Amino acid sequence: MLEITYLREHAQEAAAGLKKRGLDAEQSIQDILKLDELRRQNQNELDQALAESNQISKEIGLLYKEGKREEADKAKARTAELKDRIKELQQEQEQLKNSLDQDLVALPNVPIDIVPAGKSEADNEEVKRVGEIKAMPEGAKPHWELAEELKLIRFDLGVKITGAGFPVYQGKGARLQRALINFFLEENRNAGFEEYQPPLMVNEDSGFGTGQLPDKEGQMYHVTEDKLYAIPTAEVPITNIFRGDIIEDEDLPIKATAYSACFRREAGSYGKDVRGLNRLHQFDKVEIVCLTKPEDSMPMLDSMVEHVAGLLEKLELPYRILRLCGGDMGFTSAITYDFEVWSAAQERWLEVSSVSNFKTFQTNRMKIRYRGEDKKTQLLHSLNGSALALPRIVAALLENHQGEDGIRIPEALQAFTGFDKI
């Protein structure tokens, strides 16, 4: 959620930034500022009424002691008037605050300067490409055929047990999954991220805090009776660990990592994008989350991008990095870099990671602050990234490393799999 102080001081900048998303928000911002001014005027009148009421209450007893009964009775009548007015002002204040919050929640984050304007993935900027895209040998197959032939993944069993989008991994397929999770976690820990094991269900406050609610409510699995949501990513519970906290300066930055199963309804997905492991309702992912002081968040973003790139290079996968345009970014993001790996058999790029800086958008919702050297509190910046999501990594590994004698396991992964070939 955007800070109201930011909109007061940078209304034109915010409107211009939101145009990069294809959103004309100038009138919405002006309406928000008018509501804010009414709220501040109301609060000022409320503060004055409370102060006057407190002052008169202190004087009434003295007036009676001094025998000034008539003046004391007038003062009591005035406090009764003030009590009624204070109640009215408090109700108005609550209504104004709720209206202001609703309008603020409806605004997405403002893209930073280097984010390109655009409406869709066609307007994203490629900033880096690594690895050679080689022609596949004759007879190369897509991962879903390889997985079936080598008895690694059973899509039919997933349909039998649950439904489409819930595959069953078996044998070396299951071991490869476990190896990738351990590999990513170890690499993240070696880079200074503390490991967590979070819940797979969160409450409404947690979903709101990271921006999944109300924006992505229809994409989340909802346990209605208990008002809980299955997490779409470990970002949600990990960031909410610090909700409402004031963190001391010496404890920053906070760097956290976690493995979790992830659940997404993916409503409306169809066609080639959902074949095999391309798009699932349940999948495994290792996440990294950072909380930093504002001046440190862009350098932290750069280091996270470099870290994710290092993981893909160790897996010997061709990849590219995209800077997303305003219209293709998530609701909460101020800047996002997507990582895509090359699917050799499918001959197309597959997204495997998004690394984003949310600035104060999430921390304002969750009131995650830090106490600086001057002992004043200030909102932190939050960042997160996939390091990495497994399904499309597995797809790329199977397709890019397939040969006549099987699937080659990258050297960096062999210590975790216990085998060098499938």
DSSP-assigned letter for residue 109: P
- Is 303 known to sit in a ligand binding site? no
Instruction: Walk me through the domains of the chain, giving residue ranges and CATH numbers.
Output: 4-105 (1.10.287.40), 121-417 (3.30.930.10)
pLDDT per position as a tens digit, 72-114: 889 999 999 999 999 999 999 999 999 999 999 999 999 999 9
- 202 marked ligand binding residue: no
3-state secondary structure (DSSP) of residue 42: helix
- Please tell me the distance from the alpha carbon of residue 194 to that of residue 380, in angstroms, as a whole number: 18
What's the pLDDT band for 247 if we cut at 50, 70, 90?
very high
Identify which has the larger pLDDT, 271 or 167.
Answer: 167
Residue 54 in marked binding region: no
Is 363 part of any known ligand binding site? Answer: no
Average pLDDT value for residue range 14-36: 97
Tens digits of residue pLDDT in 170-181: 999 999 999 999
pLDDT band, residue 270 (cuts 50/70/90):
low
Q: 28: annotated binding-site residue?
A: no
Task: Return mean pLDDT, the chain.
Answer: 95
CA 110 to chain centre: 15
| Residue pair 214/239 in contact by the 8 Å Cβ criterion | no
pTM of the model: 0.93
Q: How confident is the model at residue 266 (pLDDT cuts 50, 70, 90)?
A: confident
C-alpha of 89 from chain center: 36
| 194-196/254-263 β-pairing | parallel
* Both structure tokens of 303: 């280091």
The backbone torsions φ and ψ at residue 403, rounded to the nearest 5 degrees and listed phi first, read: -145, -175
The predicted pLDDT at position 357 comes to: 98
| 269 labeled binding residue | no
DSSP 334: S
pLDDT at 271: 56
Distance CA(398)–CA(407), nearest Å, equals 6
Do the annotations mark residue 351 as ligand-binding? yes
Q: Give the whole-angstrom CA distance, residue 331 versus residue 333.
A: 6
Category of 410 on φ-ψ map: left (φ > 0), alpha (ψ -120 to 50) or beta: beta
In the chain, the amino acid numbered 184 is F
**pLDDT tens for each residue of 372-406:** 878 899 999 999 999 999 999 999 999 999 988 89
Is 352 assigned a ligand-binding role in the annotation? yes
Do the annotations mark residue 353 as ligand-binding?
yes
Residue 121 annotated in ligand binding = no
Beta carbons of 170 and 154 less than 8 angstroms apart: yes
| 188-244 per-position pLDDT tens digit | 999 999 999 999 999 999 999 999 998 777 889 999 999 999 999 999 999 999 999
CA distances for 416 relative to 67, 162, 172, 185, 259, angstroms: 89, 29, 12, 11, 16
For residue 169, the cross-strand partners are: 153
Cis peptide, bond prior to residue 388, ω within 30 of zero: yes
Rg of the chain (C-alpha set): 27
Query: Alpha carbon 206 to chain centroid distance?
Result: 11
